[in-house]
Structure 1
Amino acid sequence: MPSPPPADRSAAQPPPRGAVDALISRTRRLRGDMDAVRREAPSDGADPEARWQRALCDLALRQLADVDAHLAQLRDGPPPLPTDRAPAAGPRAPARPSSGGPLLGRVGSAEWDLLTDRAAWSDELYRILGRDPAAPALTLDELPSLVHEDDRARLTTTVTDCLIDARPIDGEFRVLRPDGAERTVHMMGEPVLDADGSTVSMWAVFRDVSEVRRQRRTVRETRDSLHRRRRLAQTEHRVAVELREAVLPPWRGPLRLPRKGPGALDLAARCLPSSAGAPVGGGWYDALELPDGETLLSVGELTGHGVTATSGAAMLLGAVRGMAVTGAPPGELLGRLNQLLDASLAQPALGGALCCRYRPATRTLSWARAGHPAPLLFRDGTGRALEAPDGVLLGATSGASYGAAEEPLRPGDLLLLHTGGLVPRQPGPRGTRRLLGLAERFGAARDAQSCVRAVVEEFGGTERQDDACVLVARVVG
């Protein structure tokens, strides 16, 4: 709200109208572009990141609307100055600034005449403060009674500095309305000096910034929530990775099982991680020499991600090893594993698994599967999938039974066991055909480790949402 200018400077003139009009046009175009971005922003209230994006868009629109309204006031220039500073019926109320649209905080104004001790408030200021327009305007001494008790001392200091030291007022204060509502008001003002440099009055503009502050608080809270969720996700990812590393077999190079005798298997394996940013899955691979001289081969994966999936996979892998040591054949082993999954996990989960027992004395592979891809057998430069017995996913139904199959092997044969994520975009027969296409490279490979390297070269760069495990076993004699 304008007031008599200080005596030591002339009244400011408004800037050229055309320049301000150009700024208004640019601001409105920017508002339109920002509104389009806001409409495209996610509106999922349950997602902290979506709430944060939405809140930022709302805040930016509110501030652009504020700029637009203030530029319009700048273009139109100040209202006429009051001609009578202190009429008999009371001081003339300062001209009311535009209250703005729904996105712009309402603006009111006031002036306090120190010579007559009279105050004049605009109608909008009465509405902002929730006071009866028929009531007299409060004096500077009475003004702190409207302010939150924690802000009163700061308001008093600000007003005193303005009146005594001619410092401009620029601060925010919480106002308690008679209806009990709390509003945040931004107050800006200056002293008005006479020709001798003495303060004769003080004027101020009050803007209700409660909604803007609420939007900023929403942005801050959703940002903090998003940061907490990301830190939690990072911690869970680290724990899941460490748990998986602890559970998987400690060997990373080639392995020969059984360690003595004919018909041994040359073994190598690898876990291909999911794409950057994807959570850790519940996949595993394993090779274990059993007390009876046979060798256990297994791969599997549990649905889900994170610590829940990796801890569940650790439980299943431990059960596979324990039951295999007791001599349980593959079909019986999977049946017990199904019962364990059904009874042990608090949340329902499904799992796929492939269990094989290799007898080196007869070079025979006995195997069973639970909703898992069958082993691939490569021999003499060609490959094929072994004919799979029946077997539903682990956890799909209680009391499920699992069939078993046997396959005689020869020296030089190569078995490839893998989880479903190895060829993520081509599951089923198409993925199997791609794997079988490696037969020529496998035939030229020197050992199982070279075969695993060929698989990694072919599929390691594939974008995948889940980890993938691959286990290669070659009969060496």
Structure 2
Amino acid sequence: DILGRDPAAPPLTLDELPSLMLDEDRPMLTAMVTDCLIDAKPIDGEFRIVRPDGGVRTVHMMGEPVLDTDGSTAAMWAVLRDVSELRRSQRTVSESRESLQLHRHHTQSERRLAVQLQEAVLPPWRGSLRFPQRGPEALDLAARHLPSSNNALIGGNWYDAMELPDGATLLSVGDLTGQGVTVASGMAMLLGALRGMAVAGTRPGQLMSWLNQLLDASVQPSLGSAVCCRYRPETRTLTWAQAGHPAPLLFRNGTGRMLAAPDGVLLGATSGAVYGQAEETLEDGDLLLLHTDGLVPGHYGAEAVQRLLDLAPRFRGARTAQDCVRTVVEEFGESEREDDACVLIARIGS
């Protein structure tokens, strides 16, 4: 059965056995048999045979010499066992283990690159910033990126703040769907385009339309959400637009509310989308909170907004924007979160 021979055929001699073997395995069988018959060594080895139907089987052979009364080898006995399936399974396990190690190495390398991309793009500042750096109407700014509980997942969340040539300040947060290097590089591209258009003087509504066009035409199709604000300190005017993103929250005198959002669909969802624009006049001491989905773990939409609005009394007693960010992190930062998130807080006035 093992060799695939007709049971009615005459017995196979030991000399005929090599003719069924693969060429590269014949020297091993010859050495085992010679060592057994000449040097009385036990046999323990494997070789591959080719059956009449072309199938290859792996055979394990164990045997010992039978000694004569004078100590010479009179005969030998051997047991042949078909171990083809066992060896095939072992090879599969070994290949799977190598594949898993390769995949793990690839994942670690990809995560390392995604983290480097994210760190290179997101503003490196810690603590508070002021834009513009002088003047009683300057914005006191602070932000934080909160990673997901699964450190292997690097998402496309971003926050950004920059002073524009005309003295205005650009504030934005956003999220590109997915995880990994592709998403991190897409986020970098989107944020770079946003900064460039804002420096050129593009207003938030038009800026969102062009970002949508850019994402719609990209090689890697994806969806993104964003909110973009332009603050003019001399008039305390906030002009903003959104693309399928949570609206900014405004805190004033110990209470908070969500700003009424202008029209805007997700970036990349449809070609030629038009984005509305809204304006809000801010007051000294106002607090503006921008965030991405997932900031409040386990809560989304209206529930998440309400949890953030409930922080209004604590924000009122804070001295800086950084204190307010610290309050958010203390409240929601330690909880298990499925995705990473960002929060950006701007405080109006000195």
TM-score normalised to structure 1 length: 0.72
Q: Equivalent residues in 2 for 1:131-170 (5 A)? A: 131-170=5-44
Shift of the alpha carbon at 1:328?
Answer: 1.3
Out of 410, 421, 426, the residue aligned to residue 294 of structure 2 is 421
**What is residue 175 of structure 1 aligned with on the other side?**
49
Q: Equivalent residues in 2 for 1:249-398 (5 A)? A: 249-343=123-217, 345-398=218-271
Q: What's the CA shift string for 1:79-128, capped at 9, x where partnerless? A: xxxxxxxxxxxxxxxxxxxxxxxxxxxxxxxxxxxxxxxxxxxxxxxx11
1:172 touches 1:185 (CA, 8 Å); kept in 2? yes
Alignment of 1:452 with 2:318, yes or no, is no
1:298 touches 1:356 (CA, 8 Å); kept in 2? yes
Q: What's the CA shift string for 1:249-300, capped at 9, x where partnerless? A: 1322210001122310000111111113441001111101011100000000
Shift of the alpha carbon at 1:132?
Answer: 2.4
2:157 touches 2:174 (CA, 8 Å); kept in 1? yes
**How many Å separate the matches in 1 of 2:328 and 2:112?**
26
Unaligned runs of 5+ in 2: none
Q: What's the CA shift string for 1:369-423, capped at 9, x where partnerless? A: 1000010111111111111111111111111111111111111111110011212
1:236 touches 1:307 (CA, 8 Å); kept in 2? yes
Aligned with 2:239: secondary structure?
strand
Once the two structures are overlaid, the 10-residue window that deviates more, 131-140 or 325-334, is 131-140
**How many Å separate the matches in 2 of 1:423 and 1:362?**
33
Q: What's the CA shift string for 1:301-360, capped at 9, x where partnerless? A: 1111111111111111111111111211111110111111111x2132110000000010
* Counterpart residue identity of residue 309, structure 1: V
* Counterpart residue identity of residue 237, structure 1: R
Shift of the alpha carbon at 1:447?
Answer: 0.4
Shift of the alpha carbon at 1:176?
Answer: 1.5
**How many Å separate the matches in 2 of 1:326 and 1:281?**
28
- Which structure dedicates a bigger proportion of its chain to helix? 1
Aligned with 1:215: secondary structure?
helix
**What is residue 44 of structure 1 aligned with on the other side?**
none
Shift of the alpha carbon at 1:461?
Answer: 1.6
Q: What's the CA shift string for 1:167-196, capped at 9, x where partnerless? A: 211111111122221100001111122333
- Which structure dedicates a bigger proportion of its chain to strand? 2
Q: What's the CA shift string for 1:218-268, capped at 9, x where partnerless? A: 111111111111111111100000001101113222100011223100001
- 4+ aligned runs moved over 4 Å, structure 1: none
Aligned with 2:262: secondary structure?
coil
**What is residue 216 of structure 1 aligned with on the other side?**
90
1:379 touches 1:414 (CA, 8 Å); kept in 2? yes
What is the count of residue pairs matched by the alignment? 350
1:278 touches 1:466 (CA, 8 Å); kept in 2? no
Shift of the alpha carbon at 1:134?
Answer: 2.8
**How many Å separate the matches in 1 of 2:116 and 2:190?**
17
2:111 touches 2:152 (CA, 8 Å); kept in 1? no
Aligned with 1:464: secondary structure?
coil
Shift of the alpha carbon at 1:200?
Answer: 1.9
**How many Å separate the matches in 2 of 1:425 and 1:308?**
26
Alignment of 1:129 with 2:3, yes or no, is yes
**How many Å separate the matches in 2 of 1:365 and 1:133?**
93
Aligned with 1:270: secondary structure?
strand
Identical pairs, percent: 71
1:278 touches 1:465 (CA, 8 Å); kept in 2? no
**How many Å separate the matches in 2 of 1:257 and 1:423?**
28
**How many Å separate the matches in 1 of 2:130 and 2:184?**
27
TM-score normalised to structure 2 length: 0.97
Q: Using CA pairs below 8 Å that are at least 6 residues apart, which structure has the higher relative contact order?
A: 2
**How many Å separate the matches in 1 of 2:246 and 2:228?**
11
**What is residue 113 of structure 2 aligned with on the other side?**
239
Once the two structures are overlaid, the 10-residue window that deviates more, 247-256 or 133-142, is 133-142
2:285 touches 2:347 (CA, 8 Å); kept in 1? yes
* Counterpart residue identity of residue 236, structure 1: E
Aligned with 1:276: secondary structure?
coil
1:185 touches 1:210 (CA, 8 Å); kept in 2? yes
Aligned with 2:24: secondary structure?
coil
* Counterpart residue identity of residue 298, structure 2: R
**What is residue 63 of structure 1 aligned with on the other side?**
none
Please provide the CA RMSD for this pair: 1.2
**What is residue 305 of structure 2 aligned with on the other side?**
432
1:262 touches 1:361 (CA, 8 Å); kept in 2? no
